Amino acid sequence: MTSNVSFLEFFMGRLPEVLTQTVRHLSITGTAVFIAILIGVPLGILITRNRQAARVILSIANVMQTIPSLAFFGLMIPLLGIGRPLAIFVLFLYALLPIIKNTYTGIKGVDDALTEAGRGMGMTNGQLLTMVELPLALPVMMAGIRIAAVINIGTATIAALIGAQGLGSFIFRGISMGSNNLILTGAVPAALLALLVDWMLGRVELWLTPKGMRD
């Protein structure tokens, strides 16, 4: 078994490459989640106004979430080829469900008495959305973004198999070479990255939560 000291020496010797692959990993994940927010939040708002559309869109998003990530990459290769665009597209699809679902749940969870009070004050539907529903739904929406980001950081390691680089490249090289140190060089930063992003977004979620609703 390799000692911790030898792993640290191994890791430090590859630190520049680790930092480069970490930036690539974050770039792929961040781009996918950002696009998912741009599309998922409006979709989540839309389906709060249309029950039939809610059933259809949530069902489609649920189906995409159940497809194994490796199979999804394989299915999309004939359409998008290999590399970064494919990785971003698949990760974007995986991020959609929690973002759409939490946007929908957050807005639907707003007390009807508050929206009725807003209407009584003469607010339009647009004003109710931007001034009442979205501010109150933000903590729940943020929780969906947090889930999407953490899931994508883990899933992005598989993207190394289709030439998208990232921390997964160390893991798969380590498996092929039988090197535990190389596997850990990818696995440890990926795990720490997921924990860090989860903590940071958790703080944002807490900040957005009204004081009276905090645990």
In this prediction, residue 213 carries a pLDDT of 58
Digit-coded pLDDT (tens) for 86-129: 999 999 998 998 999 999 999 988 888 888 888 888 888 888 88
Average model confidence (pLDDT) across the chain: 87
Between CA 12 and CA 180 the distance in angstroms is 15
In this prediction, residue 211 carries a pLDDT of 65
In this prediction, residue 3 carries a pLDDT of 47
DSSP assignment letter at 14? T
Nearest in space to 61 (alpha carbons), one of 105, 8, 118: 105
Digit-coded pLDDT (tens) for 165-195: 889 999 999 999 888 999 999 999 999 999 9
Q: Residue 26: which residues within 8 A CB-CB, separation 6 or more?
A: 193
Q: What is the mean pLDDT of residues 141-163?
A: 91
Q: What is the mean pLDDT of residues 9-26?
A: 92
Identify the burial level of 104 via C-beta atoms within 10 angstroms of its C-beta, where 0-12 means exposed, 13-18 middle and 19 or more buried: buried
* 128, 116 contact by CB (below 8 A): no
Single pTM value for the model: 0.86
In this prediction, residue 4 carries a pLDDT of 52
Q: Answer with the residue of higher pLDDT: 145 or 80.
A: 145
